[in-house]
Amino acid sequence: MRLLFKSILFVVFLTLPLQTQAQLLNVESVRADIESAGWHGELEFDLSLNQYNEQVFEFANESNLSYFTERHAYMLLNSLKFVNLDGNSLISSGYVHLRSTLLRNEKLSPEIFVQYQYNNNLGLNNRALGGGGVKYRFYRTKNWQASISTGLMYEFEEWQLAGQSSIKNEYLKTTSNIRLNGKVSDDAVFLLVGYYQARPDQFFEARSILESKLKMDLSKRIAISISFVASYDAKPIIDIPNWTYELSNGLVVKF
């Protein structure tokens, strides 16, 4: 049964197309299945070639390097994606994120973070942010746990579409998330997390995201992952869709 489940998941992994437009970074998917102290790292590679009205080629690389002590956690995350349209234009997006979680095994865990991000596909030239908050773990069993986090961050953004002038904004925002993760089997882990980011004076006009991710071990060092991300921005800075989504599959190398 386990071999059959792996085979089905591997076929799905090979046949899923990629559509990449998510704006929010989900650090929860990195630390969801790390418990032991020491250095941890992962490399994830996505590759897709689709033929619709135009030939679309996409390559993505994500990496993380984390150091976990018995009490604290420190994480460095990177992502870089390239989309090639019919061999002519090249569109890229990426981020760098640094985060520290103190007292990581306690019910209350303070956190601080900084991030830089861009997305040429959406017209996001630059986004820099930094902030802090606290994570509260309200449920924990041998295989499953759930937590909620809340905090404040400062955000600078620069947006620009082709042929238009750039728009720059600086905001103080609240940032919150709720997370559920655990083991589906000895070889598979599942994550479900939702984010909500808003200015305090426009709390119900938020940027939000919902992500689900399934990671399946093929060996001690190799895994495959399938994730779906849907995000919604109530008031986009420029004329882009309120709803964006990402359906992706990846090959994960652990070290």
Q: Write the DSSP assignment of 151-207 as a string of letters.
A: EEEEEEEEE--TTS--EEEEEEEEEEEEEEEEESSSSEEEEEEEEEEE-GGGTTS-E
Domain residue extents for the chain? 2-254
- Structure tokens belonging to residue 53: 């009205």
| pTM above threshold 0.85 | no
pLDDT of residue 97: 93
- Structure tokens belonging to residue 115: 């991030």
Instruction: Kindly tell me if the per-residue pLDDT of 50 is higher than 80.
Output: no
pLDDT of residue 53: 45
Residue type, 64: N
Of 33-37, 126-130, 229-233, 250-254, the range with the lowest mean pLDDT is: 33-37
Query: pLDDT-based confidence at 131, cuts 50/70/90?
Result: very high
CATH class of residue range 2-254: mainly beta
pLDDT of residue 26: 58
- Structure tokens belonging to residue 96: 């760098």
Of 14-18, 26-30, 68-72, 136-140, the range with the lowest mean pLDDT is: 14-18
Query: pLDDT-based confidence at 46, cuts 50/70/90?
Result: confident
Please state, in angstroms and as integers, the Cα–Cα distance from residue 201 to each residue in 171, 206, 236, following that order.
11, 11, 16
Instruction: Kindly tell me if the per-residue pLDDT of 184 is higher than 50.
Output: yes
Count of Cβ atoms closer than 10 Å to residue 223 Cβ: 21
pLDDT of residue 12: 37
